Structure 1
Amino acid sequence: MVKEILDMKIDFAIGPFTMTAIRQTVIDFSEAFMEDGNTILIKK
């Protein structure tokens, strides 16, 4: 789903994404408000 965000095919994604240094350079991760394994991604 990260590729689809970068290719502007989708606006955001929700799922259990691992936050890595490389991914943080191209997408914004939501701040955790509870632990359930899901994250919201949007293109920077």
Structure 2
Amino acid sequence: MMPNNENEIFYIVGAILTILVNVPEIIRQININLKFNESIKHHKIL
């Protein structure tokens, strides 16, 4: 038994899961920003 290694693995897995959960939200925010910028360019709102 090596509890330190188990804790490290658990921490890494938790970090990866957190990132994976947040990826869709990050992508959604990027898409919203891109659409917002495009609409500004399209309507020539400065």
Structure 1 and Structure 2 fold alike (TM over 0.5) = no
More helix by share: 2
TM-score normalised according to structure 2 size: 0.16
TM-score normalised according to structure 1 size: 0.16
More strand by share: 1
